[in-house]
Amino acid sequence: MFVRYFGHVDKPWEEVERRLLADPSTWMPALLEEAYEEGDRLLLQIGLGKNLGLSKEAVVSVGRPLHMNDRVVLPANVEAATLSGLFPKLTADLEIAALGPDRTKLILSGTYEPPLGLAGAVLDRVLLHHVAEAVVKNFVEGVVERLLQPVASQVAD
């Protein structure tokens, strides 16, 4: 299934690029965990119970950034650290592009494989895709918030 969400950072592209690429493997997992916790809350609200939660420890692998003029694409893969067959696997690109001298667009585009084969695919089409979209939205908003914070207030997790 395809997911996409974007946000804007009111900072120059060069600054956003420098901060985005500053060791993403240290800050990305914490933001993903926060986004997954929001997915858990949504599942609870729709009555699927907390035990189905998405907030399991994730393994994040970040590829080499691809530079193209005033844009950078950072490829990433996310999967559960344990019981990976029970949770979605995400392959995504986190992209930034200049929108003028003081504004940058941040875009996450990716695909994920619903777990549990055909049953998981059916459940995803009916309901869980909305949860996946919420997780992606919360992650992108978390990255935007991180990029807007003063550098001194950011602590590596």
Q: What percent of the chain has pLDDT over 70?
A: 82
Residue 119 lies in a domain: yes
Identify the three-state secondary structure at position 10. coil
Enclosing domain of residue 107: 2-148
Q: Using CA atoms, how far apart are residues 29 and 153, in angstroms rounded to an integer?
A: 18
- Tell me the per-residue pLDDT of 139-152, one tens digit each, with 9 for 90 and over: 999 999 999 988 76
Q: Are 106 and 95 in contact (CB under 8 A)?
A: yes
Residue 155 lies in a domain: no
- Tell me the per-residue pLDDT of 51-61, one tens digit each, with 9 for 90 and over: 544 446 678 88
Residue 157 lies in a domain: no
Name the domain count of the chain.
1
- Tell me the per-residue pLDDT of 104-134, one tens digit each, with 9 for 90 and over: 999 999 998 887 778 777 777 777 778 888 8
pLDDT of residue 105: 97
**Whole-prediction pTM:** 0.81
CATH code at 100? 3.30.530.20
Residue 154 lies in a domain: no
